[in-house]
Amino acid sequence: MNIGDTNKDRTPTLADVARFAGVSTATVSRCLNSPDRVIEETRNKVLKAVRELGYAPNFNARALAAKRTNTIGAIIPTMENAIFARGLQAFQEELGRNGTTLLVASSSYQTDLEEEQIRTLVSRGADGLLLIGYRRDPKVYEFLHRQGVPVVAAWVFDPDADVPTVGFDNFLAMKMLAEKVISLGHRRIATITAATQGNDRASERLRGILAAMTEAGIPENDLSIIETTYGIDEGGVALEKLMTQQIRPSVVMCGNDVLAVGAIAKAKELGLNVPADLSVTGFDDIEIAKISSPPLTTVHVPHRRMGKEAARALLNMVGTTGGRTKILLETTLQIRESLAQHTD
Amino acid sequence: MNIGDTNKDRTPTLADVARFAGVSTATVSRCLNSPDRVIEETRNKVLKAVRELGYAPNFNARALAAKRTNTIGAIIPTMENAIFARGLQAFQEELGRNGTTLLVASSSYQTDLEEEQIRTLVSRGADGLLLIGYRRDPKVYEFLHRQGVPVVAAWVFDPDADVPTVGFDNFLAMKMLAEKVISLGHRRIATITAATQGNDRASERLRGILAAMTEAGIPENDLSIIETTYGIDEGGVALEKLMTQQIRPSVVMCGNDVLAVGAIAKAKELGLNVPADLSVTGFDDIEIAKISSPPLTTVHVPHRRMGKEAARALLNMVGTTGGRTKILLETTLQIRESLAQHTD
DNA sequence: TTGTATGCGTTATCAG
DNA sequence: CTGATAACGCATACAA
**What separation in angstroms does the CA of A309 have from each of A93, A126, B299?**
11, 19, 39
Same domain, yes or no: B151 and B174: no
In which band, very low, low, confident or very high, does the pLDDT at A327 lie, cut at 50, 70 and 90? Answer: confident
Per residue in A184-237, pLDDT (tens digit) is: 999 999 999 999 999 999 999 999 999 999 999 999 999 999 999 999 999 999
Closest residue in A to B233 (Cα–Cα):
A287
Clarify whether residues A256 and A282 are in a common domain: yes
Q: Answer yes or no: do B133 and B207 share one domain.
A: no
Q: What share of chain A is helix, strand, coil (3-state, %, to 5)?
A: 45, 15, 40
| CA A324/CA B120 separation, integer angstroms | 30
Establish if A338 belongs to a structural domain: no
The domain that holds B244 is classified in CATH as 3.40.50.2300
Same domain, A175 and A296: yes
Residue A180 within any structural domain of the chain: yes
**Across B336-341, average pLDDT:** 83
User: How far does the CA of A62 sit from the C1' of C16, in Å?
Assistant: 26
Same domain, A219 and A151: no
Per-residue pLDDT at A6 exceeds 70: no
Asked if residue B136 is part of any domain, the answer here is yes
Report pLDDT digits (tens) over A265-278: 999 999 999 999 99
Q: Quick check: A325 pLDDT over 80?
A: no
Name the nt closest to B56 by C-alpha to C1': D9
Residue B246 in domain: yes
B59 at interface of A, judged by CB pairs closer than 8 A = yes
In this structure, the answer to whether residues A78 and A49 fall within a common structural domain is no
Indicate the SS3 state at residue B31: helix
pLDDT one-digit tens code per residue, B230-286 = 999 999 999 999 999 999 999 999 999 999 999 999 999 999 999 999 999 999 999
- Same domain as A77, residue A102: yes
Please report the pLDDT score of residue A315 as a whole number. Answer: 94
Each residue's pLDDT tens digit, A275-312 = 999 999 999 999 999 999 999 999 999 999 999 999 99
| Summary mean pLDDT of chain A | 92
Do A308 and A252 share a structural domain?
Answer: no
* Domain assignment present for B152: yes
Identify which of B135, B302, B258 has the alpha carbon closest to the alpha carbon of residue B204. Answer: B135
Model confidence band, residue B338 (pLDDT cutoffs 50, 70, 90): confident
Determine which of A14, A55, A59, A292 to mutate to test the interface with B (most B C-beta atoms within 10 Å): A59
Domain count, chain B: 3
Which is more confident, B51 or B343?
B51
| Residue A139 beta carbon within 7 A of nucleic strand C | no
Residue A32, domain extent: 3-57
Q: How far apart are CA A256 and CA A258, in angstroms?
A: 6
User: Taking CA atoms, what residue in B is nearest to A287?
Assistant: B232
| Strand D contact at CB of residue B70, distance < 7 A | no
Q: CA B344: distance to chain centroid?
A: 41
Residues A146 and A227 grouped into a single domain: no
Please tell me whether any atom of strand C lies within 7 Å of the Cβ of B26: yes
A184 and A206 belong to one structural domain: yes
Residues of chain A positioned with their CB less than 8 A from the CB of B264: 291
**What pLDDT was estimated at residue A317?**
93
Q: Using 50, 70 and 90 to split pLDDT, how confident is the model at B321? A: low
CATH of the domain at A18: 1.10.260.40
